[in-house]
Structure 1
Amino acid sequence: MPELSVPTVDVHRSFLAAMAEFEAEGRGDADDRSMIGNDLRVYGATWESPEVFEKYVRWLRAQSLESSPRPGGHVPATTMWWVDGTDYLGRIAIRHRLTDSLWRLGGHIGYDVRPSARRQGHATAMLKSALPIARDLGIEQALVTCDDDNVASRKVIENNGGVFENQIERKLRFWVPTG
């Protein structure tokens, strides 16, 4: 049964296959501003190496710490992976606080499900499982956004109690209770 897990080297093979699926759908190009897109550009050419992957996993886990170095404008974020044994199915990131940019367009929580695992309820279950973690971080209402044409993501947010607030540019903005 799928569950949230801290990033782990145990899913290396499956993670690589998932990233190849994301690349096949066009993720990782210069216009992709998502976490997956950035990680594909920075690490994609070297992830095959177990040592590099282990370093990436350590870096990702450390991003939850206030003291960890991170790019300008980034905030501490707890990233969890949605796994079924050693099968990587997706990821969810909980940003500990909002910058002006995150308040407008990014929100507290972002998630991705690998293409071959979509439309199986994983995103809904993953978000539901992550809400108590957000609550433990002091987030009482999580801002979660999605593109205005992403009907599936909108349903995920609404199925987790998301209340529509407004639309800014192409982003629909919802507040989701964490408790």
Structure 2
Amino acid sequence: MIDLVPPTPALYDAWAACVVDFGAVHMDGSGHHGPMDTARPAFDAYLAERLREADHAWEPPADRVHASYRWMVEGDEVVGFVGIRHRLTPFLLEQGGHVGYAVRPSRRREGHATAALARTLPLCVRLGIARVLVTCAEDNVGSRRTIERNGGVLEDVRAGTLRFWIDAARPPA
């Protein structure tokens, strides 16, 4: 079973292995953009940026929002990433949503995304996000199932993106 943990320098090696597993594959809405430099100085800068984005004392640029990040960890392995955007910009309302996640290619189809999204919803409630928008590409069957298993209700499709709303305060039936 996975745990969600904040980004930490203690998991540098596990983080780097996870990033390498993604290769050139984009890490979806998790707040990661691949390919990434896994050298320690780049990691330290990445970590500082992720922690700053969650700090409400920091004023994000107009096209960004505060965000909290979690790593999906099983044992000593990072199996994926979760990003929680604290509010929606016009773009996030159309395409990105409040929550994004990515599971490393070698660990997909094991239920990690479904478990991570379920554990993310209480974090959303604590951030004041009771109604959570989660999106995925129209052809991403696995992500669609993940969202639906967590109570996602399809609102519509916009430019090839499925838009689901989840009542984070009420667990799925």
- The TM-score with structure 2 as length reference comes to 0.89
Maintained 8 Å contact 2:132/2:166: yes
Aligned length: 169
Match of 1:112 in 2: 102
Match of 1:128 in 2: 118
Where does the alignment leave 5 or more consecutive residues of structure 1 unmatched? Answer: none
Match of 1:175 in 2: 165
Where does the alignment leave 5 or more consecutive residues of structure 2 unmatched? Answer: none
Instruction: Specify the code of the residue in structure 2 equivalent to 1:75.
Output: V
- Aligned CA RMSD, in angstroms, stands at 2.0
- The TM-score with structure 1 as length reference comes to 0.86
Query: Which contiguous aligned blocks of 4+ residues in structure 1 show a shift greater than 6 angstroms?
Result: none
Instruction: Specify the code of the residue in structure 1 equivalent to 2:124.
Output: A
Question: Which residue among 145, 155, 169 is the counterpart of 2:135?
Answer: 145
Matches within 5 A, 1:89-108: 89-108=79-98
Matches within 5 A, 1:1-179: 1-24=1-24, 26-27=25-26, 35-37=31-33, 40=34, 44-45=36-37, 47-49=38-40, 51-68=41-58, 70-179=60-169
Distance 1:53 1:164 in 2: 37
Q: Deviations over 1:55-97 (max 9, x none)?
A: 3223212211123254540100011111123311111111111
For residue 53 of structure 1, report the CA deviation from its aligned partner: 2.0
